[in-house]
Amino acid sequence: MAYDTSNLKDPPMSPNSVSVYHLDLLEKSKFKDYDSLFTHRLAQDQARATFLSRGKSSVSNLSGIYDQILKATHVTYYQGHYVALFMLGSERVRNFLLIDTGNYLSWWQCEPCSPNKCYKQAFNAIYKYTESSTYKKLDCVAESGCLNSVFQCNIDSRLCFYTQTYDNGEKTIAFLATDIITFVGDNTQARITFGCGVNQVSGYGQFANTYSGIIALGKRLSSRNPGIYSLHSQLGSNLFELCLPTAEAATGSFLTFNKAPWVYGTEAKILKNRQEPHYYYVNLYKIFINDREVPVDPTWWNGQKEDHGAFVDTGTHQLQGTGLTFDMKNNVLTFSVDACD
């Protein structure tokens, strides 16, 4: 039996905030017990780490690497383990969107889809742009939002199309549009540009049906870069804070574009990484397990100027319970361990 989402409770939140939940809450009914679910998640994280490390050296053969990992671990991996609850359009359709701090464009499934090209969502109705009075398509002939090489303007339909393929083989084909999102915390609204996904089943990997799309929180590069479409960039915020809940927490945590309640943490400088500019990288000097330092050659992390630093992976299961503060004004990332237990 699927999880009853009416049991989910929103936490106390400041303005411009949404609830965040662990995917395990929504997917635990697929497993016989928590131990089997946890083991599966660890296998996914291993597959994810292996894929990301191999992908850096073999970008031209991602599908081949993906096949090798499936044979070795027998699992695929998700882009992340945490979803945020947004209300979309004038009808305030409640949808879970996967949190992705390595992406620059938010998208969600849109009806009408291309024939048989949208997956069936387990918990939420698919957003119907034809029923939202606040929906507007981005006219790629009359407007400038389609100028970047990532997008292609269809002159006949005047729609700005793009194709996004993720590392794990998932693929979405969508066009740019704008609509209102409503923040659950205080019912404030904001108009954002998003990808209206009309084909999500054409990749060699398949999206999980527990979420409707992706909310992008990737690093913004410049005003001329497609990173301007990440959510915090569109909201004009130089700071956002993400509280990652534990797998057992039925009361959600939060994603906020205001100052979070925690006042402690370990700060790390956000580095530039030219090979993966939308990701957040930090310097990593030492690793401790149970207060004991693990000997690691520091040259593992230094690298060259174009690829140095350690990748901050908010898509892994191991960060649960951690509070993260992304301060783009000062280029600082703060880790607050156990702040969200």
Query: Token digits for 146?
Result: 């389609």
Q: How confident is the model at residue 78 (pLDDT cuts 50, 70, 90)?
A: low
CA proximity to 221, closest of 183, 167, 277: 277
Q: What pLDDT is recorded for position 118?
A: 95
108-117 pLDDT tens trace: 999 999 999 9
Dist. CA 245–CA 58, nearest whole Å:
34
Is residue 219 in a domain? yes
The band of 28, judged by pLDDT with boundaries at 50, 70 and 90, is low
pLDDT category of residue 169 using cuts at 50, 70 and 90: confident
pLDDT of the residue at 76: 44
Task: Return the CATH number at 196.
Answer: 2.40.70.10
Which among 276, 237, 274 is positioned nearest to 258, based on CA atoms? 237
Q: Give the C-alpha separation, 44 to 317, whole Å.
A: 9
Asked if pLDDT for residue 69 goes beyond 60, the answer is: no
- Is residue 4 a part of any domain in this protein? no
The pTM is what?
A: 0.85
- Alpha carbon dihedral 130, 131, 132, 137, in 10-degree steps, equals 0
Q: How many domains does the chain have?
A: 1
- 90: in domain: yes
Assess if residue 197 is contained within a domain.
Answer: yes
In this prediction, residue 74 carries a pLDDT of: 40
**Residue 130 domain-assigned (yes or no):** yes
In a domain, 238, yes or no: yes
Give the C-alpha separation, 196 to 326, whole Å: 27
112 belongs to a structural domain: yes
pLDDT per position as a tens digit, 208-239: 888 999 999 998 765 555 456 899 989 989 89
Report the C-alpha gap between 301 and 238 in whole angstroms.
Answer: 27
192: domain range? 9-336
